Each structure stands twice: as C-alpha cells, then as structure tokens.
Structure 1
Amino acid sequence: MRIAVTGSIATDHLMVYPGRFTDQLLAEHLDRVSLSFLVDGLEIRRGGVAANIALGLGRLGLRPVLAGAVGTDFADYREWLHAGGVDTCLVHVSPAHHTARFMCTTDADQNQIATFYAGAMADARDITLAPATRRIGGLDLVVIAPNDPEAMRRHTEECRRLGLPFAADPSQQLARLDGRQTRQLVDGARFLFTNAYEAELLKRRTGWQEQDILDRVGSWITTHGADGVTLDRSGAPQIHVPATVTPHLVDPTGVGDAFRAGFLAGVAWQWPDERSAQFGCALAAVVLESVGTQEYKLSAADLLLRIEQAYGPAAAEAIAPQLTAIAP
C-alpha cells in the first residue's frame, strides 16, 4: 500500500519551562496577557507534522511519499528522510523562503504554548499529486495533514478528482479555517483525525453534530492523551483503546504524529481499526519518552512488550509478523 503524506515540514525549536503556565495566568486580566517565560533549555530538531508521520511510516518498512514545501536549507533534512525510508519526490524547494519553524515551550504539566512560522509552506499549494501517482503506479491513501490552508484544500479536491481515498487531519489549522473550508476538508474522508479539543472545535466550525460528521467520513479517530483513543463509525458502537502506560514522560511534541504513523501502518497492513489504534498508541509512547519528534529509537521487542502489557498476548502475537522490517 502506497501512502502519500501532505503537510508541514519544519524545524522544531523545543524549550522547557520548569513551572506551570497556569500559575502565571490571572483570570481577571486575560484580556491583556503579556508574559515571558525563562526556559531551562533549547533543543533544535527536525519536525513538521507530515515529515513526522512519513518518517514513522518509513521506519516501519513502508515507503511513504512526502509532499510539502521547504526552503533551500533542506538538503541535510532530505538526506535524513531518505535514510529513514521516505520518498521526497513531491517536496518542493522554495528559492525565496526558509523552511517552516515550530517554536514550542512545554511546562511541568506537559502543557504547551507554541507559535509556527510558515515560511516556504505557502508554496505547498503549487504541488500536485498526479505526478507521483503516475510515477509509482498509483497511491492508495493520501493524508491531508496541517499545511498551508489553500494547499490543504487543493490536495483534498485533487484526491476527489483522481478518486484517491484521503485522511483528513486538520489539527492545528482548525484555528485558521472557517466553516466552509473545514467542511470541504472533512466531507468524504476515509479517516478523520482529531484530538478531543479539536473534535469539539470541528463541530463548532462545521456547524455539524457528531452524527452529521460520522455520516460523512469512514472512521473518526479521536486521541485523548493519557485516556487513550476513541474510534467512531456511523451505525457502529464506539471503540475505546486505552493508552499504553509509560513511566518516563519526557516531551509530548510529536506524540500525535507518531500515533497517526502507527495507525496508518496498521491500515497499510490491513488490520482492523482497533488493532491499528493499539499499535499507534504503542508508537506514541515511544516518542513520548524522547526529546524531539524524530529522534526516537524503534525496537520490535520493545513495541511488542508494550503492546502485550497493554492489550494482551493475542494483540502482540497478531502484530509481531509486521515488525520484521525494524532493525534490532
């Protein structure tokens, strides 16, 4: 199964604040917030939602196609992705802008305050999927991850025009999308990804109730952090998949992207949604225990142990045959 992942490719600037953001917020003055947080460290890492998802898929032995726009500073990053099994034939290099920057501060409660500079990402609207479809003999699924809003719209419409199944993952860009744009991105998706907060925002943006959305998508996958994941399909009972337990919380950045990579790998391997979500939760826990979104190390034995402890021996036995591509 060939998967194309469209969306942001960025450099992450990750900082840690040892206190709690909420201790500095005064309820009576939230209309005039002016705060500065002295952080303890700075990590500069490779990131971007689409790149994170694609690299996760590549490390699992799938060869995803990454589609996004970057600056001329991308050469080293491209080599890193190639080494991780990612096809970058649809990455557009802008001569005028830097690669996007994600600047994020995490506090002691794992709350985050972030800003994002789009940079070259605006050029992603000029990327078309048809060339990759012809070159590799077809695409089976296209992920529409956070990106330049116009690029997200164009990619979605091209999927409809070419008859390509797509996964809608508006995530952080819901803050920039109006109701019409959001409805266009969601309607007809094979998969819809949100976290719990985004699920409520999505309903507000679209003006649709939960059943209205379920009538328009195949599966709606909602992440709930430490409370796991819920899977919803129209006419079927909701499935809850608990998160895998991790005693070593380090950095939540990129955890949602890792879950998506694991889930989509399960889709490629033709697993049922529940099994895919279990694997996604295990991969998310690995990323949660490392700094940065792409610096984690994968071990088949470690993943299987996490899955067995969380979901039982039968789940681990079912998943094990697909993990042979992971280097020991």
Structure 2
Amino acid sequence: MRIAVTGSIATDHLMSFPGRFTDQLIADQLEQVSLSFLADRLDVRRGGVAANIAFGLARLGLSPRLIGSAGIDFAEYDAWLRAAGVDTESVRISETLHTARFVCTTDEAQNQLATFYAGAMAEAGKIDLASVAERCGGFDLVHVGADDPDAMLRHTETARRAGIGLAADPSQQLARLDDIRARQLVDGAHLLFTNEYEAALLRERTGWSERDILDRVGTWITTRGADGVSLARRGRLRIDVPAVPTTKITDPTGVGDAFRSGFLAGLSWGWPVVRAARLGCALASVVLETVGTQEYKLLAADLIDRVERTYGYEAAREMEPRLAELS
C-alpha cells in the first residue's frame, strides 16, 4: 500500500512537572487563571503528528511519503527521517519561517498543558497534493492529520476527487474548525481517528450524532488511553481492543501517533482491523515507555512478546511472520 502522511512537522519541547496541575486550580478563580509551573526536566525532541506517524511506518518496514511544510532549520531533522526510511522529497521548505514548535508540560498524573506554534506549517496550504500524487505514481491512502486547516481541507478534497482512500484525523485542530469545515474533513473518510474527547468534540462541531458519523465513514477508530481502542462501523457491534499494559509510563507524547503507525501498517499488509489495532497498541506501549516520539527502540521479539502477553499465543503467531522481517 502506498501511503502519504500529511500534517505537522515540529520540534517538541517536553517538560515534566513533579506535581498535579489540578492541585493548583482554585474553583472560584478559573475565569482568571495565571499559573506558572516549575518544571524539573526538559527534553527537546523531533515531533509533529505527520512526521511521527511516517517515522513509525518506516520503522515497521514501509516507505511512507511525508507531506508537510517545514522551516529553514529542517536539514538535520530531514536527514534523521531519511535515515529511518521516510520519503521526505515532498516536504515543502519555507524560505523564512522556522519549523513548528510544540511546547508541552506533563504532570505526574500524565495530564498535559501544551502550546503549538505553527511557524512554517502555516504555509502547508501551498502544497499541491495532486501534483505530488502524480509525480509519485499515485497513493492508495492519504492520512490527513493535524495541520494548517486550509491545507487539511485542500488535501481532503484532492483525495476525494482522485478517488484515493482517506484517513481523516483532525485531532487537535477540531478546536479551530467550524461545523462546515469539520463535516468536510470527515464526510466520506475510509478511516476516522479520534480519541474519546475528540469524538465528543467532533459530534459537537458537526452537529452529527454517532450514528450520523458512522453513516458517513468506513471505520471509526477511537483511542481510549489505558482502556485501549474502539473500532466502530455502521450496522456492526463495536469492537473493543484492550491496551497493551505497561508499568513503565515515561511520557504519553506521541503515543497516539504510534498507534496510528501500527494500525496503518497492519492494514497495508492486508490484516483484519482487530489485528492491526493490536499491533498499534503494542507499538503505542513502546512509545509510552520512551521520552520523545521517535527515540524508541523497535525490536521484533519485543513487539511479539507484548502481543502474546496481552492478546494470547495465537495472536502473536499471526503477526510473527511479518514482524520477524523487521531489522
């Protein structure tokens, strides 16, 4: 399967706060919040949802094409992605702006406060997905992740017109979308990704019920943190896939992106959606144990062991032939 991954490319500034944000909130003062949290750790890492997903796909042996807008400081990051197997030829480089910045503080309860600076991502609307697809010989699936809203809409419409499978993943940008644009991004998608909060926000933004959304998409994948993942399709019972447990929670940043990498890789190999979701959960647990979204070690034996411990012997054996090919 030829997969294009569109969305943000960013540098992550990840900080840790040794306490709970909620302990600092005063119920009757929430209209005027002015808080400062003294972090005791800072890690500067490569990130961005599209780059993270493309990196994970490449680590699983695929050759995804990354499509997004990066800044004048992208050279080192570009070399890193290429070395991992990501095709970055279609990344647009701004002549004046720096690569986007994601600044996130995580407390001891894994709550997060984050700010995102768009930078070069604001120019993503200048990317012509149709020209990229023609140059590459076409795509089987285009993943439209969080990006400049105009770029997301443009990529979505281009995929529809070209008859390319669409994976809609508006995530953080739902907060910036009105009802019309939210509907445009979702309607007709082969795959729809949200977490639980985003699922509720999507219903509010579109004005559609859960049934309305399922009437308009193929498979709706909802990530639920420690409770795993739900897979929903019109006219079928919802399938719940348990998370792969871990006792070494280090940083939740990028965990959802890792799930998407594993899930999309499984689908590209022709796996059933449940098996693909199990791989996604296994890869997500690896990233949860790592600081940084692309610094994890990926070993076939470790992934297979995680799958077997959570989903059983047969589930692991079903995946083993493909995962054994990982270097």
Worse overlay, 96-105 or 131-140: 131-140
1:323 maps to 323
Partner secondary structure for residue 32 of structure 2: coil
The percentage of counterpart residues that share the same residue type is 65
1:123 maps to 123
Displacement after TM superposition at 1:196 (Å): 0.4
Partner secondary structure for residue 73 of structure 2: helix
2:69 maps to 69
Taking the aligned partners of 2:41 and 2:271, their CA distance within structure 1 comes to: 41
Taking the aligned partners of 1:192 and 1:214, their CA distance within structure 2 comes to: 10
Aligned AA for 2:70? V
1:138 maps to 138
Taking the aligned partners of 2:189 and 2:322, their CA distance within structure 1 comes to: 26
1:175 maps to 175
Normalization by structure 1: what TM-score?
A: 0.99
Taking the aligned partners of 1:176 and 1:135, their CA distance within structure 2 comes to: 32
Taking the aligned partners of 1:238 and 1:225, their CA distance within structure 2 comes to: 17
Aligned AA for 2:234? S
Taking the aligned partners of 1:82 and 1:253, their CA distance within structure 2 comes to: 22
1:267 maps to 267
Report matched runs for 1:167-316 at 5 Å.
Answer: 167-316=167-316
Partner secondary structure for residue 90 of structure 1: coil
The two structures, once aligned, show a CA RMSD in angstroms of 0.7
Taking the aligned partners of 2:156 and 2:65, their CA distance within structure 1 comes to: 16
Contact 2:231–2:240 (Cα < 8 Å) also in 1: yes
Taking the aligned partners of 1:183 and 1:27, their CA distance within structure 2 comes to: 35
Taking the aligned partners of 1:172 and 1:98, their CA distance within structure 2 comes to: 21
Partner secondary structure for residue 156 of structure 1: helix
Aligned AA for 1:213? I
Partner secondary structure for residue 104 of structure 1: strand
Contact 1:251–1:291 (Cα < 8 Å) also in 2: yes
1:100 maps to 100
Contact 2:5–2:144 (Cα < 8 Å) also in 1: yes
Partner secondary structure for residue 188 of structure 1: coil
Residue-by-residue CA offset, 1:82-131 (whole Å, 9 max, x unaligned): 01110012100001111000000000000000000000001110111223
Taking the aligned partners of 2:232 and 2:40, their CA distance within structure 1 comes to: 41
Taking the aligned partners of 2:298 and 2:131, their CA distance within structure 1 comes to: 32
Residue-by-residue CA offset, 1:173-216 (whole Å, 9 max, x unaligned): 01111111100000000000000010000000000000000000
Partner secondary structure for residue 183 of structure 2: helix
Taking the aligned partners of 1:159 and 1:28, their CA distance within structure 2 comes to: 48
Displacement after TM superposition at 1:36 (Å): 0.1
Displacement after TM superposition at 1:246 (Å): 0.5
Residue-by-residue CA offset, 1:285-309 (whole Å, 9 max, x unaligned): 0000000000000000000000001
Displacement after TM superposition at 1:132 (Å): 3.0
Structure 1 unpaired stretches of 5+: none
Report matched runs for 1:46-57 at 5 Å.
Answer: 46-57=46-57
Structure 2 unpaired stretches of 5+: none
Displacement after TM superposition at 1:137 (Å): 2.0
Contact 1:166–1:191 (Cα < 8 Å) also in 2: yes
Taking the aligned partners of 2:129 and 2:202, their CA distance within structure 1 comes to: 26
Would you say how many aligned residue pairs link Structure 1 and Structure 2? 327
Contact 1:53–1:260 (Cα < 8 Å) also in 2: yes
Q: For residues 325 and 81 of structure 1, do their structure 2 counterparts lie closer, same or farther at Cα, with a shift above 3 Å needed?
A: farther
Taking the aligned partners of 1:279 and 1:229, their CA distance within structure 2 comes to: 11
Taking the aligned partners of 1:245 and 1:161, their CA distance within structure 2 comes to: 41
Contact 1:89–1:132 (Cα < 8 Å) also in 2: no
Displacement after TM superposition at 1:134 (Å): 2.4
Aligned AA for 1:66? L
Displacement after TM superposition at 1:255 (Å): 0.2
